[in-house]
Amino acid sequence: MPCIQPDGTLTLTAMFVLKSLGEGPLPPEEIARRLGEPVFKVRGSLREMMGAGLIEEAEGAYRLTELGRGKLK
Amino acid sequence: MSVNPEPSVPAPRALPRIGDPAPPFTAETTFGTLKLEDFKGSWLVLFSHPADFTPVCTTEFLAFAEIHSELRALNCELMGLSIDSVFSHIAWVRNIEEKMGVKIDFPIIADLNKEVATLYGMINPGESKTETSRAVFVIDPQQVVRAIIYYPLTTGRNMHEILRLVKALQTTDAHGVATPANWQPGDKVILPPPRTVEAAAERVAQEGVECKDWYFCKKAL
């Protein structure tokens, strides 16, 4: 599920993920539950967002980076 | 006496077989870049079709879309593949939705470089060197290949059989049983044949089991 548009803007899904992670670290399964999307889609999105430096992973849960937190402002 | 080493010849690529780990891949899809490992924890029906904008494939996509929600309820995802670009896939699924009113809500791999198709042996050069056959790989949550089906270009697949196959595999895993010909959920299942004389004697005396003979026993689940 692409999260970052070719022009660098974030999709609604990406913004939803960032907002969810703004409340604290979450595993992909919980993000998928909140989004109402299958886990495989969320894993793809998280990988893309991690590649863009918006989030980071630790022990199976994802959390915002400073860059990701900045996108929420 | 000197021994000349054999000239180095690349070993032929082994195709996945039932019971093998599903070959990992990273692919561009209509849902963005996906890896096989993204599907860990759920069943996956990975299928190939010959080409976008072709009539038999369109009937198959309509039929796959029809069983999609039932597969989802079985914790089973669906992913298509053909040797077409992602733009062609997008145009085709939009066309299907516009002309036939059916939304294709599963990813399709754009395998232009034939990487995944080659990895999974989806191209049968005797039939076509440029199109994938109608292959189906059922992959379990541990990413092991559990079933493989091949259909030729001319013959659309039976979605009820694919659904039945997934249900049968899940029943086998859940209960340690096999399923007879034409089995449908709710039908009796087959107990694995005993492997010792003692177990054979016990089997025929077992309550709740219907035996034609010691090796051929069924029970209701």
**pLDDT score at B9:** 59
3-state secondary structure B153-208: CCCCCCHHHHHHHHHHHHHHHHHCCECCCCCCCCCCEECCCCCCHHHHHHHHHCCC
pLDDT-derived band at A1 (thresholds 50, 70, 90) equals low
- Cβ proximity of B17 and B113 under 8 Å: no
**pLDDT score at B45:** 98
Planar angle of CA B198, B202, B205, nearest 5 degrees: 150
Residues of chain B with CATH 3.40.30.10: 26-157
pLDDT-derived band at A73 (thresholds 50, 70, 90) equals confident
Among chain B residues, CA nearest to A4: B32
In a domain, A7, yes or no: no
CB proximity under 8 Å: A 12-41 to B: 38-41
Nearest C-alpha neighbor of B40 from the set A49, A32, A24, A17 = A32
Topology adopted by domain B176-221: Antioxidant, Horf6; Chain A, domain 2 (3.30.1020)
CB-based contact B31 A3, cutoff 8 Å: no
Residues of chain B with CATH 3.30.1020.10: 176-221
Looking at the DSSP assignment, which residues form a beta bridge with residue B43?
B76
The interface predicted TM-score of the complex, written ipTM, equals 0.85
**pLDDT score at B8:** 61
Q: Report the mean per-residue pLDDT for chain B.
A: 94
Q: Which residues of chain B have pLDDT under 50?
A: 1-2
Record the tokens describing residue B109, joined without a space: 């791999």
**pLDDT tens-digit profile of A26-66?**
999 999 999 999 999 999 999 999 999 999 998 889 999 99
In a domain, A2, yes or no: no
Q: How far is CA B99 from the centre of its chain?
A: 28
Among chain B residues, CA nearest to A5: B32
**Residue carrying the six token digits 């849960």:** A61
Contact of A43 with chain B, judged by CB distance below 8 Å, is answered with yes
Is B50 in a helix, a strand, or coil? Answer: coil
**pLDDT tens-digit profile of A5-19?**
777 788 888 899 999
Chain B nearest-CA distance from A24, in A, is 23
Planar angle of CA B54, B106, B84, nearest 5 degrees: 40
What domain count does chain A have?
1
Record the tokens describing residue B202, joined without a space: 């016990």
Biggest CA pair distance of chain A: 32
Q: Known catalytic residues of B?
A: 57
**pLDDT score at A3:** 73
**pLDDT score at B1:** 45
CB-based contact B33 A44, cutoff 8 Å: yes
**pLDDT score at A71:** 86
What is the residue range of A24's domain?
12-72
Is B144 in a helix, a strand, or coil? Answer: strand
Nearest C-alpha neighbor of B71 from the set B165, B137, B177 = B165
CB proximity under 8 Å: B 22-41 to A: 31-35, 37-39, 41
**pLDDT score at B6:** 58
Record the tokens describing residue A25, joined without a space: 């670290």
Q: Rounded to whole angstroms, what are the CA distances from B213 to B176, B178, B203, B206?
A: 20, 16, 9, 12
**pLDDT score at A72:** 83
In a domain, A33, yes or no: yes
- Cβ proximity of A18 and A53 under 8 Å: no
CATH of the domain at A42: 1.10.10.10
Topology adopted by domain B26-157: Glutaredoxin (3.40.30)
